[in-house]
């Protein structure tokens, strides 16, 4: 086990609603990255937080937002949900720029279904 | 051109077979390379990092050719438990984000 936890495990929402997903990073890690994995695709980078600051963002609209807390846990918020937001949302923790290899360890994911 | 491209799958092989996965990446600034394994409906798990000199971990061998921007993974003596999707992953140093390929599914049959 990686020590990275995510909640909830599964979630069903309807179009237009808002959702908050949570991630607790592995002990000693200060960086959390969020990824979206649609069915049959590889994970796609949403954004990353390093020591509570956003440290890079992928090609996702502003309705995807996030936070990192002083204990390095993190939230992903998605507003105005669309059907295409249905996916597995993964968070990964790492030592970020403080690591020579920046190996990232993934949580079990939250499976979001938008109806 | 996609940033990371992998062999389309699935690969169906019998137990004991040797199977090779290929991957190419487009960003020459890529500095770290990995193979992750993902079981059905589970999270990706790090299988191995890939180094320029090539590296081996038991039945698994990874190779990197920076000039060709090519990465490979060789699995020898396939086991039923090797059935999974194998994801090729690159990291551009300084940006600390992972770019994944689409993955190649491996099915090992008895």
CB neighbours of residue A58 within 10 Å: 16
Q: What angle do CA B65, A43, B73 make, to 5 degrees?
A: 30
The closest CB to that of B96, out of A2, A31, A111, belongs to A31
In angstroms, the Cα distances linking B65 to B50, B68, B72, B92 are 10, 6, 9, 16
- Tokens, residue B68: 């060709």
Q: What is the mean pLDDT of residues B7-20?
A: 95
Asked whether B4 and B100 are in contact (CB, 8 A), the reply is yes
For residues A106 and A92, what is the distance between their CA atoms, to the nearest angstrom? 4
Secondary structure of residue A93 in the 3-state scheme: strand
The answer to whether B49 contacts A103, with C-beta atoms less than 8 Å apart, is yes
Q: What is the mean pLDDT of residues B71-93?
A: 94
The closest CB to that of A48, out of B96, B100, B102, belongs to B96
Q: For residue A96, list chain B residues with Cβ-Cβ distance below 8 A.
A: 96
Positions of E strands within A25-102:
31-37, 44-50, 53-57, 64-68, 74-78, 87-94
CB neighbours of residue A44 within 10 Å: 18
pLDDT at position B6 over 90:
yes
For residues A41 and A87, what is the distance between their CA atoms, to the nearest angstrom? 10
Q: For residue A105, list chain B residues with Cβ-Cβ distance below 8 A.
A: 46
Confidence of residue B20 (pLDDT cuts 50, 70, 90): very high
Which pLDDT does position B31 carry in this prediction?
82
pLDDT at position B96 over 70:
no
**Which residues are registered as beta bridge partners of A39?**
none
A40 min Cα distance to partner chain B (Å): 7
Q: What is the mean pLDDT of residues B61-79?
A: 96
Q: For residue A40, list chain B residues with Cβ-Cβ distance below 8 A.
A: 102
- Name the residue with higher pLDDT: A60 or B92: A60
pLDDT at position A1 over 80:
no
The closest CB to that of B87, out of A42, A96, A107, belongs to A42
The number of C-beta contacts closer than 8 angstroms across A and B is 60
The answer to whether A92 contacts B98, with C-beta atoms less than 8 Å apart, is yes
State which residue of chain B sits closest to A58, comparing Cα positions.
B97
- Name the residue with higher pLDDT: B101 or A95: B101
Asked whether B104 and B84 are in contact (CB, 8 A), the reply is no
For residues A50 and A97, what is the distance between their CA atoms, to the nearest angstrom? 8
Best mean pLDDT range from A50-59, A93-102, B74-83: B74-83
Which pLDDT does position A104 carry in this prediction?
86
CB neighbours of residue A13 within 10 Å: 16
The answer to whether B98 contacts A45, with C-beta atoms less than 8 Å apart, is yes
The closest CB to that of A56, out of B44, B96, B103, belongs to B96
Average pLDDT, chain A: 92
Which pLDDT does position B53 carry in this prediction?
86
Q: Positive or negative, the Cα torsion across B60, B32, A109, B7? A: negative
Confidence of residue B29 (pLDDT cuts 50, 70, 90): confident
């Amino acid at each position: 086990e990686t020590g990275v936890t995510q909640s909830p495990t599964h979630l069903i929402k309807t179009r237009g609603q808002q959702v908050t997903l949570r991630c607790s990073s592995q002990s000693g890690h200060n960086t959390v990255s969020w990824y979206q994995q649609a069915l049959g695709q590889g994970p796609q980078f949403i954004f990353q937080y390093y020591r509570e600051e956003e440290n890079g963002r992928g090609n996702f609209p502003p309705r995807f937002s996030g936070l990192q807390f002083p204990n390095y846990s993190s939230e992903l918020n998605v507003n105005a949900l669309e059907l295409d937001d249905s996916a597995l949302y993964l968070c990964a923790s790492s030592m970020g720029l403080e690591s020579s290899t920046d190996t990232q360890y993934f949580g079990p994911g939250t499976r979001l279904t938008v109806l | 051109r996609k940033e990371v491209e992998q062999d389309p799958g699935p690969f169906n092989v019998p137990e004991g077979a040797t199977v090779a996965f290929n991957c190419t990446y487009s960003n020459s600034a890529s500095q770290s390379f990995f193979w992750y394994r993902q079981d059905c409906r589970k999270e990706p798990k790090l299988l191995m990092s890939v180094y320029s000199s090539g590296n081996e971990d038991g039945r698994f061998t990874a190779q990197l050719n920076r000039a060709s921007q090519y990465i490979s993974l060789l699995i020898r003596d396939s086991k039923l438990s090797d059935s999974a999707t194998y994801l090729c992953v690159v990291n551009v140093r300084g940006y600390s984000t992972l770019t994944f390929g689409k993955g190649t599914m491996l099915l090992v049959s008895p």
